[in-house]
Amino acid sequence: MQVIGERYEVLEHLGSGGVADVYRVRDRARAGKILAIKRPRSANLQTILHAEYCTLAEVQHPNLVTVYDYHADLDDGMPGYTLEVVHGKSADQVVDRWGQAVFETVATALIRAVAHIHAQGLTHGDIHPFNLIVSSDEDGNEPNIIDVKLLDLVPNRSSDIVGALPFL
């Protein structure tokens, strides 16, 4: 079993993006709590990942993923930060299955979260159904933005096109 930083047991690879890889892990220091850990794909992306963590820690919102700890060096010279694991389905899967009423709930929560990000003077640059997970619980369908690509953190963004190609 792979262990990161002598603390996080890797359970599975959840996904990869332009900046980072994300893994589901068990935290040995928190009595086995299941978390996600996000690590930069290369050394030149460390600054962006750290800025993303600091921003998410400040811009908390019920419909944004919650971040926990930042680690500057996790035994291989690379940093990473932990965040909550959101269980559910992508927004498009949920809306296709459950229809208009769920769409309104998801859209309203998404608009509130993005408005909150904008109120902080930031711009989200990668809103699409795969970055919005809808979890079902006793309170209903709760959407969460799980990947927050804040354009304000990307250097030279005026000359770059960012975001997921099918949604540009």
Which of 36-40, 94-98, 102-106, 124-128 has the highest mean predicted lDDT (pLDDT)? 36-40
pTM for this structure? 0.79
Cβ(137)–Cβ(77) under 8 Å?
A: no
pLDDT of residue 136: 67
The structure tokens listed for 158 are: 């005026």
pLDDT for 160 beyond 90: no
Tokens 């809103």 belong to 127
String of DSSP letters for 24-89: EEEEGGGTTEEEEEEEESSGGGHHHHHHHHHHHHHS--TTBPPEEEEES--SSS--EEEEPPPPSE
Q: End-to-end CA distance of the chain: give it in Å, rounded.
A: 39
pLDDT for 88 beyond 60: yes
pLDDT for 75 beyond 60: yes
pLDDT for 138 beyond 80: no
pLDDT for 139 beyond 60: no
